[in-house]
Amino acid sequence: MFCNQCQETLKNEGCTTRGVCGKTGDVADLQDLVIHSLRGLSFFQEIKRNEIGPDREANEILMEALFSTITNANFDRRRMLEYIRRALSARDRMRNELEDKGHEFRDLPDHALWTFTTEEEADRKASSVGHLTIENEDIRSLSTLLLYGIKGISAYAEHAYTLDLEDETIFGFMNRGLLAYRDPEADMEKLLGLVMECGEIGVRTMALLDEANTSRYGVPTPHRVNIGVRKNPGILISGHDLKDLHELLEQTKGTGIDVYTHGEMLPANYYPFFEKYDNLVGNYGGSWWYQIKDFDTFNGPVILTTNCLVPPLASYGDRVYTTNTVGFEGIPHIPDRKQGKQKDFSNVIEHAKRCEPPKELETGEIVGGFNHRTLWGLKDKVVGAVQAGKIKKFFVMAGCDGRHKSREYYTEFAKALPKEAVILTAGCAKYRYNKLITDDIDGIPRVIDAGQCNDSFSLASFAIKLAEDLGVGVNDLPIEYNIAWYEQKAVLVLLALLHLGVKNIHLGPTLPAFVSPNVLNVLVDKFQLGPNSTVEQDLAEMMV
């Protein structure tokens, strides 16, 4: 095992026996084998796309299997083996189809040929296909940066796909990027070009997901979200999948069961579509790593629709359910929906009826719902406040939350901001400060929450459109970027910002372990990317 894909990786170097996330070494190795298998699938998928047409089954496997390898998504060995089998089956089917069309394949690479019969064979193979097999440190750095960006694309593409929107250009890039990963012929120039293209495709994917969410559930608007509880039994739903929430709310209507959002599901409360459900109470608890406390006190069943899952404690483990790409050995998994039908949450609902109501953690409300369209409606008010000196700086503090004590930096940074500063946020990083700063400037909240991590697209879109409207460059606006990262979707968001030309990004709480000194120098020279230091020093630099 060697895994360095998340910010909490051991000693900021890499986990080698067991993941800090709780993932076992054999599962981590099998996830490397998932990637190897998807490279083989991509080999034939690219040819088929160009000569015959898209392969829908291959696209689905590509998205789902990649998504399952993101940090804190799937800890289940059995599921990893199933993804590998599905990838190999689709790979070989496409090869046969191409050969039937007259293709002759000779001297194929290993990822296009290998197979296995027993789990022992898979385990032996898995230990030989990780990225440490790339000897050159800088090639390895760019290759893994590319791979982790593609994993982020897979997550956002899967969310859009669930809502019936897809883009073959996105799948084509994922195939090309995977084929370049661990390609002995790939040089620095090619890989750097693909890394930057990954940012471009990331913007395209987040725009697609924004369209999917808003066309189905309406444009988010500012909402006051309840953070208290009622006296009915409840179901807590965490993750990012809005369609799962929609179907759960439909199935719990009239049952006496309340539904609460958790973590990255909080922004669902901002969509107009969900206002009609009086069984949607509000949000319970905080970001993903608080689930050990939040799930324990909630008392009712919890559904994990996407990452991030923390290995459950015994005190509540019998109340946890997974669905979609999430998996954990011994935890009940809710099957995918069948064509034309809703996903079946009946077991969870019956479980909830046997549970006590949730224990109250807090009371009050929090505000969010600032999609880029909503933000643009506030443009004149925002520009007026800036021109009047009432707002001196905007701070984009989007991204991820995490367990490390070093992340207290973001809470302290928010507390230290002057009253003339406004935070623009998206992702679970918001939980560090969204209940601390509740005042506004002429009706403009001092914490403007755009939504989930993918809604960082809204913040970037607003900034770019505002710069164009004012006739200045995006880096000439009074906006500073102080981004927290944790996993691979955040890697993609960073690459998307770089593609859009955003410079002087502060990234923390540590720089990625997979970025080599030489690759870091490239990013610093081209984009002035830099690490956090102290609250006092960073604030002094940014408030200039």
Domain ranges for the chain? 1-133, 223-353, 371-542
Say yes or no: do domains 1-133 and 223-353 share a fold.
no
The separation between CA 417 and the C-alpha centre of its own chain, rounded to angstroms, equals 27
The three-point CA angle 306-312-313 to 5° equals: 160
pLDDT classification of 78: cutoffs 50, 70, 90: very high
3-24 mean pLDDT = 96
Residue 528: how many CB atoms within 10 A of its CB? 13
Half-sphere exposure of 406 (CA within 13 A, CB side): 16
Q: Is 53 left (phi over 0), alpha (psi -120 to 50) or beta?
A: left
pLDDT of 489 over the 90 cut: yes
Q: How far apart are CA 281 and CA 154, in angstroms?
A: 31
pLDDT of 64 over the 90 cut: yes
What is the predicted pLDDT for the residue at 94? 98
pLDDT of 162 over the 90 cut: yes
pLDDT of 214 over the 90 cut: yes
Q: How far apart are CA 92 and CA 328, in angstroms?
A: 29
The class that CATH gives domain 371-542 is: alpha beta
Tokens of 172: 């084509």
Strand pairing of 421-425 and 479-484?
A: unpaired
What is the predicted pLDDT for the residue at 411? 97
What is the predicted pLDDT for the residue at 544? 85
pLDDT of 208 over the 90 cut: yes
Average pLDDT, the chain: 97
Q: How far apart are CA 270 and CA 276, in angstroms?
A: 12
Structure letter (DSSP) for residue 320: E
Q: Are 359 and 236 in contact (CB under 8 A)?
A: no
Extract long-range pairs of 290-296: CB within 8 Å, 24+ residues apart.
290/431, 291/238, 291/262, 291/263, 294/236, 294/262, 294/361, 295/236, 295/319, 295/320
For the chain, give the percent of residues with pLDDT over 70: 100
CATH architecture for the domain at 1-133: Up-down Bundle (1.20)
Q: How far apart are CA 334 and CA 337, in angstroms?
A: 9
Strand pairing of 320-323 and 365-368?
A: unpaired
Query: Cis omega before residue 54 (within 30°)?
Result: no
Residue 447: strand pairing partners: 423
Instruction: For domain 223-353, say whether CATH 3.90.79.10 is its number.
Output: no
